[in-house]
């Protein structure tokens, strides 16, 4: 690779994404009066209604999830057309009555991304547009994790020629295609926006598929040599009724 000047990946950007993980202070929440809890719930329902309206108008998407393990209790996932919209909804949640009982657990800000190693993508393609503004499934489970491409010695992703990166990503994509119909994947870029370079969301009706696809992809060279992975967060989608039962207000 001496004398070679690597070319950056061609990317298109879509909706902005906020993963807002929270812990619920269960002891304080249980001690709150029924009136206080009901007021907090009704206010949260108003926020959910606003998020739903934005989704119905095609200006974003959202999902709320119950998260397994002590990393977090809830994930509020929102996709919007720009950063300002995410700032506004985050501020509204932080000002809500329920926020008095929520503790920050983890957060990740990124932008939905499609990349091509060798030639630019067509932004007018219906397929491309749909991938840049993805729907959030209203059932099943989510697996989220941040990741980087390694930059160490001979295993430096950013020094590889574009054709080599394209070859590695094609092989990686072939593994992913085995899971069509079982797993939906959304990739978002966070270079210069957060502490990791990408965020990955996997959606499935069967959480075992997360284990299978991630394990199998570890054998792809692009992951085995160049992948660095952050913490994994797994949760179950909550519709309004399930969220009410989780909070004990139903």
What is the structure's pLDDT at 6? 75
Q: Which neighbouring-strand residues pair with 19? A: 77, 108
Other beta carbons within 10 angstroms of residue 99's beta carbon come to 16
Catalytic residue among 106, 141, 145, 237: 145
145 has catalytic annotation: yes
What is the structure's pLDDT at 2? 53
Closest CA relative to residue 202, chosen from 177, 182, 223, 175:
182
Residue pair 1/160 in contact (Cβ under 8 Å)? The answer is yes
What is the structure's pLDDT at 101? 98
Sign of dihedral through CA atoms 106, 81, 135, 169? negative
Find all residues with CB under 8 Å of 168, minimum gap 6, and list them: 160, 220, 221, 222, 226
Residue pair 83/13 in contact (Cβ under 8 Å)? The answer is no
What is the structure's pLDDT at 155? 94
Structure-block tokens of residue 50: 């606003």
Q: What are the Cα distances from residue 169, in Å, to 21, 140, 174?
A: 30, 28, 9
For the chain, first and last CA: distance in Å?
Answer: 62
Residue pair 67/73 in contact (Cβ under 8 Å)? The answer is yes
Structure-block tokens of residue 102: 């929520």
Q: Tell me, letter by letter, the H, E, C secondary structure of 205-237.
A: CCCHHHHHHHHHHCCCHHHHHHEEECCCEEEEE
CATH number of 10-247: 3.30.70.1030
What is the structure's pLDDT at 1? 47
Residue pair 104/90 in contact (Cβ under 8 Å)? The answer is no
Structure-block tokens of residue 133: 């503004």
Residue pair 121/206 in contact (Cβ under 8 Å)? The answer is no
Q: What are the Cα distances from residue 176, in Å, to 124, 154, 186, 214?
A: 24, 26, 12, 9
Which positions of the chain have pLDDT values less than 70?
1-5, 118
Q: Could you give the CA distance from residue 80 to residue 61 in angstroms, rounded to a whole number?
A: 7
Other beta carbons within 10 angstroms of residue 179's beta carbon come to 18
What is the structure's pLDDT at 38? 98
Q: Rounded to two decimals, what is the model's pTM?
A: 0.95
């Amino acid at each position: 690779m001496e004398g070679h000047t690597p070319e950056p990946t061609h990317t298109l950007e879509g909706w902005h994404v906020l993963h807002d993980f929270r812990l619920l202070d269960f002891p304080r929440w249980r001690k709150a009066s029924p009136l206080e809890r009901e007021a907090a719930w009704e206010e949260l329902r108003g926020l959910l209604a606003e998020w739903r309206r934005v989704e119905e108008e095609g200006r974003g998407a959202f999902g709320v999830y119950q998260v397994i393990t002590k990393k977090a209790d809830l994930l509020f996932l929102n996709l919007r057309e720009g950063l300002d919209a995410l700032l506004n909804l985050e501020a509204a949640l932080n000002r809500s009555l329920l926020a008095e009982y929520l503790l920050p657990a983890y957060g990740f800000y990124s932008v939905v991304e499609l990349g091509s190693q060798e030639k630019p993508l067509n932004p007018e393609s219906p397929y491309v547009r749909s991938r840049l503004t993805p729907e959030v499934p209203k059932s099943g489970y989510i697996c989220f994790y941040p990741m980087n491409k390694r930059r160490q010695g001979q295993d430096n992703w950013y020094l590889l020629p574009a054709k080599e990166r394209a070859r590695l990503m094609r092989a990686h994509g072939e593994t992913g295609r085995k899971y069509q119909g079982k797993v939906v994947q959304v990739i978002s870029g966070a270079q210069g926006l957060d502490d990791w370079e990408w965020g990955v969301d996997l959606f499935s009706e069967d959480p075992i598929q997360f284990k299978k696809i991630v394990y199998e992809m570890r054998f792809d060279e692009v992951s085995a040599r160049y992948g660095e992975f952050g913490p994994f967060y797994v949760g179950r989608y909550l519709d309004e009724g399930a969220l009410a039962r989780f909070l004990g207000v139903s």
